[in-house]
Amino acid sequence: MNNSLQDEASSFFGAIERLDPAFDALVDVEARAEEVCAGFIWSEGPVWKDGALFFSDVPANILYRWSPKSAKAEAFLEPSGGILANPDFVEPGSNGLAVDLEGRLLLCQSGGRRVVRLEADGRTETVLADLFEGRRFNNPNDLVCHSSGAVYFSDPSYGFKGHEASPLREMPWNGVYRIAPDGRVNLLVRDLPFPNGLAFSPDEKTLYIAVSDSRWPRVMAFDVQADGLLGNGRLFFDAVPLLKRGLQGTCDGLKVDTRGNVFATAPGGIAVLSPDGQLLGIILLGVASNCAWGDNGGTLYITADDVVCRIKTATHGTPFRFC
């Protein structure tokens, strides 16, 4: 475990940029981001489970558990990505995490190139998907559970050394997939350059997909059809204007509150978007990777480079998607 990991800190950092009065109903005027632990290489994929925050340090190949009671981040699973250290992988560890309808932890294993479920003993891994049409996935990155029991996940090639130029790559695209409750895997999207974070609208009729394209960071929206497949892809939020302001980062992870507002990582930190894609405000943190509601659903935990922080919100995350 990294000796530089800190106990829960009382330091506050960042700033809040309010662009629309509607923002005040989502993030209180006196709210500030607070660092809770630090010392990681690249923190990612947070999810709240059983009164604690689980998150990945992808390059370090460690899955951490942070508890408000101990106020410490402790290694929960190492290696977390299904493989040991490997020079062919720059991101060997777990990345996105989710909790299924039975409360079990799901992991995108970047190094193992698969999606797995961690069973109740906290150690046994059940592989949910590792192949599509006989070919291994790239590096599963983020995932979200549907109330039907289906699991949707993204599969860019960020984990390989050389990314898309890696000789290990078997898929000719960076895709988004659906694992049906019976285990069948469907390819949903194949024409996005770098699909990343995923989140459903509260009614599950829309799937949001963050695209971490360094030249055109954006969030796309897709209709979820009756059969669980996707249609009518459209631009929901264009983050290029934030890049032009000189803000760092990209569209990576995102979550949705009970009112349909989208909290998306974007250049500068967390962009808070209305259900119609209007930018309401920004929680300015520098480079952020993902976020998750925790506690009672009214605290947003954010993985931001080498730190994990939190901010109280006046809105709440939805059940099974405090992730």
Instruction: Please report, rounded to a whole number, the percentage of residues in the chain having pLDDT higher than 70.
Output: 94
pLDDT band, residue 9 (cuts 50/70/90): very low
| Averaged pLDDT for residues 239-260 | 96
Among residues 147, 136, 148, which one has the least CA distance to residue 111?
136
- The percent of residues above 90 in pLDDT, for the chain, comes to 88
What pLDDT is stored for residue 12 in this prediction? 61
Q: Please count the other Cβ atoms lying within 10 Å of the Cβ belonging to residue 215.
A: 8
* Whole-number Å distance between alpha carbons of 42 and 265: 14
pLDDT in tens, 63-122: 999 999 888 999 999 999 999 999 999 999 999 999 999 999 999 999 999 999 999 888
Q: Quote the pLDDT of residue 320.
A: 53
Question: Given this model, what pLDDT does residue 2 score?
Answer: 36
What mean pLDDT comes out for the span 219-237? 98
Q: List Cβ neighbours of 133 (8 Å cut-off, separation of 6 or more).
A: none
Write the pLDDT tens digit of every residue in 209-223.
Answer: 999 999 999 999 999
Q: How far apart are CA 64 and CA 139, in angstroms?
A: 20
Write out pLDDT tens, residues 274-298. Answer: 999 999 999 999 999 999 999 988 9
Would you state the torsion angle of the CA atoms of residues 9, 10, 11, 13, taken in this order, to the nearest 10 degrees?
100
Cα–Cα distance measured from residue 274 to residue 256, given in angstroms and rounded to the nearest whole number: 10
Average pLDDT over residues 7-20: 69
Confidence of residue 229 (pLDDT cuts 50, 70, 90): very high
**Among the listed residues 272, 256, 266, the one whose alpha carbon sits nearest the alpha carbon of residue 304:** 266
pLDDT > 80? residue 7: no
pLDDT band at 321 (very low <50, low <70, confident <90, very high): low
Q: Give the Cβ contact number of residue 102 at 10 Å.
A: 8
Q: State the DSSP code for 40.
A: -
Tokens 């106020």 correspond to what residue?
A: 71
**Averaged pLDDT score across all residues of the chain:** 93
Tell me the average pLDDT across 208-237: 97
4-9: average pLDDT: 36
DSSP 155-207: E-STTBTTGGG-TT---SS-EEEEE-TTS-EEEEE---SSEEEEEE-TTSSEE
Q: How far apart are CA 104 and CA 100, in angstroms?
A: 5
Distance CA 208, CA 280 (A): 17
Residue whose entry in the numeric block shows the structure tokens 């059809």:
225
**Domains in the chain, please, with CATH?**
12-312 (2.120.10.30)
Extract the tokens encoding 121: 């003993």
Work out the average pLDDT over 161-166: 94
Q: Would you give the DSSP letter of residue 302? A: E
Q: Find out whether 34 and 56 touch, Cβ atoms under 8 Å.
A: no
Structure tokens at 316: 């709440």
Position 323 pLDDT exceeds 80: no
